Amino acid sequence: MKIYNFSPGPSILPKEVFEQAAQGVLNLNGSGLSILEISHRSRDFTEIITKARDLVRELLDVPKNYHILFLSGGASTQFLMSAMNLLPSNGTAAYLDTGSWSSKAIKEAKPYGNVDVIASSKDRNYAYIPKGYKAPSEALYLHLTSNNTISGTQFHEFPEVNIPLVCDMSSDIFSRPVDVKRFGLIYAGAQKNMGPAGTTVVIIHDELVGQSERILPTIMDYQTHIDKDSMFNTPPVFPIYGSMLTMQWIKDNGGIAAAAERNEKKASTLYAEIDRNSLFDGVVDKEDRSKMNVTFVMRDVANEAAFIDAASEAGCMSIKGHRSVGGFRASIYNAMTLEGVEKLVYVMQEFERANG
């Protein structure tokens, strides 16, 4: 039976990447050594991290006045590291609260300066993206989460503000074109569209480096990692290798524009069935629906377990919704095929025939 992995993360990766990474674990580039054992100072790894950095710059059209880093600690570390580096103790930063991850970013930033939460969708369990807000003129940046994996919402247009945007793009980076010039800082954990869990890409404008004026722990200072080309300490070697392979796969398959087209087709196919099927309802406002994490519920909750069983029997795995939302969540990142989405749609249709 063919398996379709709808996990929100760590998530599906391309089969070609699995095969290449497996070969690299056994014998990297014919060296006789594994990617798991080579020195991060070796020529082989230097070429890998350089290529990974070049692919980020090429795929996202990152201008030369931005630094690209590969760090440890996931997006959760960036919640506080971004504030430590960008927000002076007497300064103000604006934040949008659109879900679990943005609320955690807000919590982590508060010890380092004034955090102004200018809009929130918590009143409806994060079922929409707030609109009609204004960023305070004194704010040094506006922080947002581009895609919300738990609730299933996504910014389809980014705010027009006169201050730098700081954005957690962990769950939709490389899924669609982004005008990097509109952002002061972008960070993203790898375990959705970029590669295996364990590294985080950071894209930061050179004017934002050293902005906080506070004394920082050496490893928490972006300048440290810029000066050392992301190798101040031993970097997450294998996740960077896997990310490089995944980004090369994206490039080989038409780049970001082609990925966005495929993702649009997958999302529209699944949402159309949710809206048509008499047994299911979407969770979030239609205009804010995520193209990465599709959330929906069953009108009769008594049938939820049976539907999950039916999906699993058909090879559609990991569709159970987050406990804070309930229902179901189908994560359809870059590597998920249209065939996989159509399989899930078929299961929904068959379940309706049997239970409608």
Phi, psi of 189 (to 5 degrees): -70, 150
Per-residue confidence (pLDDT) for residue 324, from 0 to 100: 86
Per-residue confidence (pLDDT) for residue 356, from 0 to 100: 79
**Where does the chain have alpha helices with state H?**
15-26, 43-60, 74-86, 100-109, 222-227, 237-252, 255-276, 304-313, 338-355
Superfamily of domain 255-355: Aspartate Aminotransferase, domain 1 (3.90.1150.10)
List, by residue number, the catalytic residues: 101, 168, 192
Per-residue confidence (pLDDT) for residue 1, from 0 to 100: 87
The answer, yes or no, to whether residue 212 has pLDDT greater than 90, is no
The encoded tokens of residue 208 equal 């934002």
CA dist 184 and 164 (Å) reads: 5
The answer, yes or no, to whether residue 222 has pLDDT greater than 90, is yes
Span 128-157, pLDDT tens digits: 999 999 999 899 999 999 999 999 999 999
What is the sign, positive or negative, of the torsion defined by CA atoms of 59, 65, 71, 73? negative
The answer, yes or no, to whether residue 211 has pLDDT greater than 90, is no
Per-residue confidence (pLDDT) for residue 251, from 0 to 100: 98
pTM greater than the 0.75 cutoff? yes
The answer, yes or no, to whether residue 64 has pLDDT greater than 90, is yes
Delimit the CATH 3.40.640.10 region(s) of the chain.
Answer: 15-252
Per-residue confidence (pLDDT) for residue 321, from 0 to 100: 95
CATH number of 15-252: 3.40.640.10
The answer, yes or no, to whether residue 17 has pLDDT greater than 90, is yes
The encoded tokens of residue 176 equal 């669609």
Residue 26 has what DSSP assignment?
Answer: H
Span 2-16, pLDDT tens digits: 999 999 999 999 999
Delimit the CATH 3.90.1150.10 region(s) of the chain.
Answer: 255-355
How far is residue 240 CA from its own chain's centroid?
16
Span 78-105, pLDDT tens digits: 999 999 999 999 999 999 999 999 999 9
CB 298 within 8 A of CB 307: yes
Span 302-333, pLDDT tens digits: 999 999 999 999 999 999 999 888 999 999 99
Average pLDDT, the chain: 96
The answer, yes or no, to whether residue 288 has pLDDT greater than 90, is yes
The answer, yes or no, to whether residue 224 has pLDDT greater than 90, is yes
